[in-house]
Structure 1
Amino acid sequence: MLLLKGKAILSLLKIGKIAGPLISMMVSIWAYAFIYPWSFSIGIVLLLLVHELGHVFAAKRMGLPVSAPLFIPFMGALIALKRQPLDAKSEAYIAFGGPILGSIGATAVFGAAYYLDSPLLYSLAYVGFLLNLINLLPIHPLDGGRIVTAVTRWLWLVGLVGGLAVIIYLKSILFLIIWGLFAYDLYTKYVKRRKQSKRQFVTRSFMIPVERLIQEGYMIPGPEHKRELPFTTYSDLSHQQYIGVKWDSLDYYGTAMLPQQVILEKVKVTQLERVELENGLHLKVSCEIECTPFENDKYYEVPAPTRWKYGIAYFALAGFLGGMMYMVHLVGNVNI
């Protein structure tokens, strides 16, 4: 049906940002339906949607633009921040949004299950509580790993050890991959980085039009020419850093994006190449940018009252979810 009616469906979905989420939701429901009944598959995806909308609402309250939710079969769903938070408090606030609204959604399903005495809804409520509880594990990139950045990063070690127990309990290859990436990230941050030099080298190229310069008698340097160039740097409101390179003798100033926030040391010309383009002769200038990553030490500075408030909320929410799972098991006789 999708193949035959694809054009009609796509024309109906040309209504802004909801096309992508709707398509990914349908694909996820279709994938889950290979294992579960259709009704259960739809319920899982809707619970995931509620969870992701919690992140969206929290990010909007912080003034941070986000993408629409994207659903990935058997992996859940995600949103992408178009601008990163400036501190751990903001990161934790956005991370809290998903489990909080997700827990409210699962509680509503539990209430409906109790009122209707529906085994399907009891099962969905149990899964909703379980997914939100697992998401609270202090492991990046799960929500819990982001929340504890505003509580104490020592909880990452708890997640490192506790994650092994969860892997054994769930027997999940996917969770094993997530845990492995988290362990490697901790290693690179706190072990490998201390042993290695923090200096990095980034390569960027600039195209300088030289057709006019040659006609005016300018001396164009040859391919073996090497020199350092003066530079400037700035960041936009999205915290994207740029470098501006100036070559006075060629009457040129160009900019390029940098892969991350860095402290610039020097810019060296490493290679020159003449390139003929449609609009004339250009000089392709390859530059080696020497820099060190910028580490914002103030990122993790969170006031003590906020740490306590977030810590209490974190453990209270985890306790609530565990208690509700036990409640569903008692009332609905559900055990997954």
Structure 2
Amino acid sequence: MVLQPKRPKKNNPLWFIGAAGAFLLTQGKLLLTLLKFGKFGGVFISMLVSIGAYAIIFPWSFAIGFVLLILVHEMGHVIAAKQKGLPVSAPMFIPFVGAFISMKRHPRDAVTEAYMAMGGPVLGTVGALAVFGAAVYWDHPLLYRLALVGFLINLFNLLPIHPLDGGRIVTAVSRWLWLVGLVGGLVLIIYNFNIILFIIWAMFAYDLYKKYVSHRKNGGEKRAMAASFLIPAEPLIEQGYLIPGEEHKRELDFVTYSDLEGQQFVHVYWDGLNFKGTIPLMQQSLIHRTHVTRLERIQKEDGLHLMIHCQVDYDPYINDKYYEVPSAARWKYGIAYFALAGFLFAMMSLVHKVGNI
């Protein structure tokens, strides 16, 4: 008699997770080829790296589910940002840290910032609820653990600490809650030390120091932004322009302006080389000066080119109106924030009880 190996039941949720993982492993070369031309290639590569990193510690099925839960959370931020007309990048994953989206322009008011921040925990909670529903339906221990982790991820992100979502949401409620996050975060670190939480808390504490202590002592927070421009040098040489040396430094004339959406630009000029360049800023700023830090000569097939390395020195413009939030909006976000935190805590207790974790 020949024994036939048992085939996995396709109605088992782990069959789908395992099949997805097996496909990604066996089709690695094809996938990488496709990712080179895909808009979100970096997203998938960073997801695969994160899955591989988590799989060192946890089973593959848990690692895949965990990364997918983070993806759902981050997509909540992306959707909310798009609804508010804010340009953001696709999510990028960092193993053992999580994921992030970069903003090409900051929100213009605290309400917009809170709306975008709230999108992640809201959609992330929906995703965790879906996993919990599947766990109850199939009564599977792994799905219960994933649901528990999903609720925990979103609850952790609601801590009123920048740059976590909670720190951005309470901007529209009361900035005094940052003090609660500062003290509460320190208590959590002392009670149960976590290196990631410690790093986030330390960054938050330093940011508060710069905003409310150092800023007042020094009369402003000095910042700089670098930009580089590549221009053909052959036409300049033919017209008799003198090309400076690579260590040449000089001040540049500039004009700064903002468009109707609040995006600020710095337009720099170098009349001696007939050069004009535009540098976008991430936030509204007071420009002190623009200058050349270095020149670089690059020989290409079509001739000599000149790389002009520029720097903009500026102070961030702190608009007090940014934090002017209508009372109705403060109540709305305050109720939503505490209600969501309470719901997530209750769901974690329920998962513990139902899943016997």
Give the structure-1-normalised TM-score: 0.81
Superposed CA deviations along residues 67-109 of structure 1, whole A, max 9, x for unmatched, are: 1111111111112223322111111101101100111111121
1:253: how far off? 6.3
Distance 1:286 1:172, change over 3 A: closer
* Structure 2: distance between partners of 1:25 and 1:289: 35
Choose from 225, 230, 233 the match for 2:256.
Answer: 233
* Structure 2: distance between partners of 1:241 and 1:276: 27
Bigger mean CA deviation after superposition, 93-102 or 201-210: 201-210
Indicate conservation of the 8 Å contact 2:236/2:273, yes or no.
Answer: no
Indicate conservation of the 8 Å contact 1:264/1:292, yes or no.
Answer: yes
> What residue number does 2:327 align with?
304
Superposed CA deviations along residues 264-299 of structure 1, whole A, max 9, x for unmatched, are: 4567x89999x9999999999999977543222221
* Structure 2: distance between partners of 1:48 and 1:99: 10
* Structure 2: distance between partners of 1:145 and 1:185: 12
* Structure 2: distance between partners of 1:95 and 1:265: 32
**Superposition pairs for residues 51-90 of structure 1, below 5 Å?**
51-90=73-112
* Structure 2: distance between partners of 1:272 and 1:69: 33
> What residue number does 1:330 align with?
353
SS of the equivalent of 1:307 reads helix
Distance 1:128 1:246, change over 3 A: same
Indicate conservation of the 8 Å contact 1:82/1:238, yes or no.
Answer: no
Indicate conservation of the 8 Å contact 1:85/1:91, yes or no.
Answer: yes
Distance 1:10 1:258, change over 3 A: closer
Bigger mean CA deviation after superposition, 161-170 or 94-103: 161-170
> What residue number does 2:286 align with?
263
Runs of 4+ off more than 6 Å: 1-5, 203-210, 226-229, 269-273, 275-290
**Superposition pairs for residues 107-146 of structure 1, below 5 Å?**
107-146=129-168
* Structure 2: distance between partners of 1:35 and 1:74: 11
Choose from 176, 180, 188 the match for 2:210.
Answer: 188
Superposed CA deviations along residues 132-167 of structure 1, whole A, max 9, x for unmatched, are: 101000111111011111111111110001112322
* Structure 2: distance between partners of 1:272 and 1:117: 64
* Structure 2: distance between partners of 1:50 and 1:288: 38
1:180: how far off? 0.5
> What residue number does 2:30 align with?
8
SS of the equivalent of 2:219 reads coil
* Structure 2: distance between partners of 1:107 and 1:163: 27
1:181: how far off? 0.6
SS of the equivalent of 1:130 reads helix
1:20: how far off? 1.8
- Unaligned segments of structure 1, at least 5 residues: none
**Amino acid of the structure 2 residue aligned with 1:161:** V
* Structure 2: distance between partners of 1:127 and 1:228: 54
Percent same amino acid among aligned pairs? 59
Choose from 306, 309, 321 the match for 2:344.
Answer: 321
> What residue number does 1:149 align with?
171
**Amino acid of the structure 2 residue aligned with 1:243:** H
Choose from 115, 118, 122 the match for 1:96.
Answer: 118
Distance 1:169 1:53, change over 3 A: farther
1:200: how far off? 4.6
Distance 1:314 1:282, change over 3 A: closer
- Unaligned segments of structure 2, at least 5 residues: 1-21
> What residue number does 2:266 align with?
242
Distance 1:54 1:259, change over 3 A: closer
**Amino acid of the structure 2 residue aligned with 1:137:** L
1:293 and 2:301 are equivalent in the alignment: no
Indicate conservation of the 8 Å contact 1:139/1:160, yes or no.
Answer: yes
Indicate conservation of the 8 Å contact 2:88/2:103, yes or no.
Answer: yes
* Structure 2: distance between partners of 1:284 and 1:32: 42
Bigger mean CA deviation after superposition, 108-117 or 5-14: 5-14
Bigger mean CA deviation after superposition, 160-169 or 133-142: 160-169
Distance 1:303 1:43, change over 3 A: same
* Structure 2: distance between partners of 1:124 and 1:192: 43
SS of the equivalent of 2:99 reads strand
* Structure 2: distance between partners of 1:139 and 1:145: 4
1:169: how far off? 4.6
> What residue number does 2:194 align with?
172
Distance 1:199 1:256, change over 3 A: farther
Distance 1:265 1:163, change over 3 A: closer
> What residue number does 1:158 align with?
180
**Amino acid of the structure 1 residue aligned with 2:268:** G
Bigger mean CA deviation after superposition, 27-36 or 187-196: 27-36
**Amino acid of the structure 1 residue aligned with 2:266:** Y
Q: CA RMSD in A?
A: 3.8
SS of the equivalent of 2:102 reads coil
Indicate conservation of the 8 Å contact 1:148/1:155, yes or no.
Answer: yes
